[in-house]
Amino acid sequence: MDAILEKLEKIEDTLSSQSKERWLNIKGVSEYTSLSIPKIRRAIQSGELKVSKSSGRLLFKACWVDKWLND
């Protein structure tokens, strides 16, 4: 029984870490949060929302978006 619980905990940890490492573009953030793209752009400009611009596109980790929403 303990072995099954350990395996379930490992599976849960893996799934939760994968969902938080998911990358979203600005449209994805808008759909994920139900907020408008201009509202998201304002949060980027004010420094409230962390963004990666290294690829030439605005990309966000889902955990960054969650943190922004919960602050």
Per-domain residue ranges of the chain: 25-71
The whole-number pLDDT of residue 68 equals 96
Below-50 pLDDT ranges, the chain: none
The whole-number pLDDT of residue 65 equals 96
- Residue of 52, 56, 46 whose CA lies nearest to 29: 52
The whole-number pLDDT of residue 13 equals 73
Query: pLDDT, tens digit, for every residue of 19-32?
Result: 557 899 999 999 99
20 to 2, 32, 39: CA distances (angstroms): 27, 13, 22
Measured at the CA of 20, the angle between CA 37 and CA 67, to 5 degrees, comes to 55
